[in-house]
A and B are shown apart, each in its own frame.
Chain A
């Protein structure tokens, strides 16, 4: 059976505009998760950033998942769909038939049947992960997967852009604190 394309040009435009139009990273990320859930008709979506020191995926934004599921425990990149490190998207069409989940029981309780996980990379390095959760089994089409990969590339750029903006603001605050008397 050929998988159905869900991402059309309208969805593509809406999501891309959402990424490009905000200078607040958390709002952008949250709205992006909302848009993906709304546009694809899925259960939930989460954007994680990778903590390189602990190899833990930290939630940056999420939509559609319960508080209990979000607090299920630390998500370790090596235990949770570990091939993320190789930079390839992962599609778990049916979670009951997969042994790659770190918390399979929690996923079942949450009503998650399928997971699509996409690495967010910058200059070839993994900096985060976008995950989509569906309440039914999900065959993602090649075209949709391509579109999702492009979204994650844009998210990676947005992450770095907002990081640079934060750094610039910090520099400005420090400069603003310099008393004129020190410059005489």
Chain B
């Protein structure tokens, strides 16, 4: 794996920062290492309430979702700059920022299965109760992927 293609899902938590540090520590000395930062956001709901004044009200009030999306995009660029500072080449860092297609785990699995990555670096907060309700992204990814290296930073 001389030129690892690394997928780093990033959601701006302290555990994401740990995963970022792991990537820097492990791969920054590999000249051709490629890193892709991935963040999927939930698009606004489509509401079947045509002709209702609520639609217009919602549209107005949710218009700043695009501003929030911009904020997230800018924050990912800051992470890209961090990687640059750690020695990764600018042309080897990409950002994938897009609406969720399935769920976070499903989207990560699809990206790796498309053959674009051979390493996935995930993070996992020990004892997180949200996993009890929503399921674990890292467990789903590990169970679904073959021929890929999955690193879990905890």
A-side residues, CB < 8 A to B, are 8, 10-11, 13-14, 17-18, 24-27, 30-31, 34-35, 37-41, 49-54, 58-61, 63-64, 66-67, 70-71, 159, 162-163, 166, 169, 173
**Interface centre among B44, B130, B143, by most A CB within 10 Å?**
B130
Query: A residues within 8 A CB of B59?
Result: 38
Name the residue on A nearest B103 (C-beta). Answer: A24
Query: B residues within 8 A CB of A11?
Result: 54
Q: Interface with A: B30-38, B45-53, B108-116, which one?
A: B45-53
Instruction: State the interface size on chain B (CB cutoff 8 A).
Output: 35
With contacts A10-B49, A31-B44, A64-B68 known, is A39 near B57, CB below 8 A? yes
Q: How many angstroms between the C-alpha atoms of A51 and B130 in the bound complex?
A: 8
Query: Does B104 sit at the interface, judged by CB under 8 A?
Result: yes
Which chain B residues numbered 65 to 108 have a C-beta less than 8 Å away from chain A?
65, 68, 71-72, 75, 100, 103-104
Contact (Cβ within 8 A) A37 B75? no
Contact (Cβ within 8 A) A60 B133? yes
Task: Write the nearest CB–CB distance from B14 to chain A, whole angstroms.
Answer: 7
**Residue from A18, A49, A60, A67 within 8 A of B12 (CB atoms):** A67
**Interface centre among B59, B72, B129, by most A CB within 10 Å?**
B129
Q: How many angstroms between the C-alpha atoms of A144 and B117 in the bound complex?
A: 49
**Residue from A17, A35, A66, A163 within 8 A of B71 (CB atoms):** A66
Q: How many angstroms between the C-alpha atoms of A49 and B133 in the bound complex?
A: 9
Task: Write the nearest CB–CB distance from B86 to chain A, whole angstroms.
Answer: 21
A-B contact pairs, 17 of them (CB 8 A): A14-B54, A14-B58, A17-B48, A18-B47, A26-B103, A30-B42, A34-B42, A34-B44, A34-B45, A39-B54, A39-B58, A41-B57, A58-B128, A64-B68, A67-B72, A163-B133, A166-B135
Contact (Cβ within 8 A) B61 A27? no
Contact (Cβ within 8 A) A71 B13? yes
Name the residue on B nearest A37 (C-beta). Answer: B61
Query: B residues within 8 A CB of A25?
Result: 133-134
Q: How many angstroms between the C-alpha atoms of A18 and B143 in the bound complex?
A: 30
Q: How many angstroms between the C-alpha atoms of A60 and B134 in the bound complex?
A: 9
Supplied contacts A10-B49, A13-B49, A24-B103, 4 more A-B pairs, CB within 8 Å: A27-B42, A39-B61, A41-B57, A173-B143
Query: B residues within 8 A CB of A163?
Result: 132-133
**Residue from A8, A10, A166 within 8 A of B133 (CB atoms):** A166
Name the residue on A nearest B58 (C-beta). Answer: A38
Query: A residues within 8 A CB of B71?
Result: 66-67
Q: How many angstroms between the C-alpha atoms of A51 and B128 in the bound complex?
A: 7
With contacts A70-B12, A71-B13 known, is A35 near B133, CB below 8 A? no
Query: B residues within 8 A CB of A18?
Result: 45, 47
Query: B residues within 8 A CB of A53?
Result: 127, 129
Contact (Cβ within 8 A) B42 A52? no
Contact (Cβ within 8 A) A38 B61? yes
Query: Does B62 sit at the interface, judged by CB under 8 A?
Result: yes
Contact (Cβ within 8 A) B133 A162? yes
